[in-house]
Structure formats: C-alpha cells, structure tokens
Amino acid sequence: MICPSAFSGLLVAALSVTLGGVSVIQSDQLKEESDKLFTILNMSHLTPDVLDSGLKQFSPESKDEVVSRVAHTPQPTGFLLARLPFILTDENKPVMEKTFIANLHSSLPEARKFSLYGLEKLGHPELPRFAEGLLHDHDDNVLYAACFILLPRAKKDAVLWKKMQAVYADHKNEPSLQMSMNLLRANSITQSHPASK
C-alpha cells in the first residue's frame, strides 16, 4: 500500500527532451514514468479525481507502454482492466481491445466483467456478439453486465429477446444469479417482445 504522502510523488509530469522540435522521452525516463503509472493503476483505492484528471499528467508514450505491459500480464485483475480506458490513446486502442477480448475468457469473474464494460467504453463493433457469449456465464456480475448491455438491443431484436428469455427460464430459480434475474424481470423479459405489442 502506498502512503498518501508518497502518492503525490507518483503523479509527476512526464520528463522529456526536445530534439528537432519533437518531444522524445528517453528510454530510462519512459520506464520510470511507466512504472509510476502502473503502480497507481494497481492501487486498491483510487479516488475519482485521480482517474479523471491525475492520470492526464502522464505522457501518451507511458500510457502506451503500460497498456502493452497489461496485455502481457497473466491474469490481470478486474480493477486494473477497469482503469485502462482512462489511459486510452489512439496508439494503444488496438492493444487495449485485444486485451479486453482475451480477458473475456479469464478465470477471474471481475476481469471478464470489466473486459466487457471496457469494450463497451471503446465502442467495439463486436460488443453485442461478445456480450451474447457471456449470457451463459455462471457469475452473477458477469451475467448482469451482459444482460445490461444487451437489453436495449433485445428490445429492438425479437431473436435476441428470445435468447434472453431462454436465459431467464434456465436460471430464474438460481439464488446465485438473482441480481441478473431481477434485471431481466424489471425489463419484462417474461412478456412478449415489445415490438409485437
């Protein structure tokens, strides 16, 4: 755990040198900055102001390096994956997308959940397909995320609505999935498709 007095030292602006008018971060400086950013993202508690504004102090290069590091991390935690969109850049978006897709199959439920939400934040075109793939997940939080994402689409798609009705029929009496079942009930999943009324 990092003490509050040391925390401010982590939020240091990127060190750089200018060559020919282009800001270039030296390799040792990039590693130091990336290490600081990675440490912050792995902290158990981060206040919203740090996520919203504090991370902006870090350079795009360090953000790209950290996303690449997470992509090569075995079993990244859910809260680490949940924070990746806060360091999104044009350069690291493809790697971030692949990281989220890979962790849809993680053994950690929180990693699966936040990977799905991460793909939603990135506006991935295959999001509905990925969410459908998690409709058979046995973790309530993961199933809830899939249902939450798919319900607006299902209300316009009778085929998808029937799939979600089948999920409800299969799991409505399972105590471990009642958060998801309550969500489906609240959206009238037991009734006919909204467009048919």
Tens-place pLDDT, residues 51-109: 877 788 899 999 999 999 999 999 999 999 999 999 999 999 999 999 999 999 999 99
Q: Do 69 and 34 touch, CB atoms closer than 8 A?
A: yes
**What is the per-residue pLDDT across 11-39, written as a single tens digit (0 to 9) for each?**
433 334 333 334 555 688 999 999 999 99
pLDDT number for residue 140: 98
Mean pLDDT over 114-143 rounds to 97
Which pair of structure tokens corresponds to residue 182? 């309550």
pLDDT number for residue 46: 78
Q: Is the pTM of this model over 0.85?
A: no
| Residue closest to 164 by CA, chosen among 140, 137, 184, 142 | 184
pLDDT number for residue 179: 98
Q: Do 142 and 178 touch, CB atoms closer than 8 A?
A: no
pLDDT number for residue 110: 97
Q: How far apart are CA 175 and CA 153, in angstroms?
A: 26
Q: What is the DSSP letter of 127?
A: H
Q: How far apart are CA 15 and CA 30, in angstroms?
A: 8
Which pair of structure tokens corresponds to residue 119? 């793909």
For residue 42, the one-letter residue type is N
Q: Which residues contact 11 (CB under 8 A, 6 or more apart)?
A: 36, 40, 50, 54, 57
Which pair of structure tokens corresponds to residue 37? 């950013």
**How large a percentage of the chain has pLDDT more than 90?**
74
Mean pLDDT over 4-12 rounds to 44
| 19, β-bridge pairs | 22
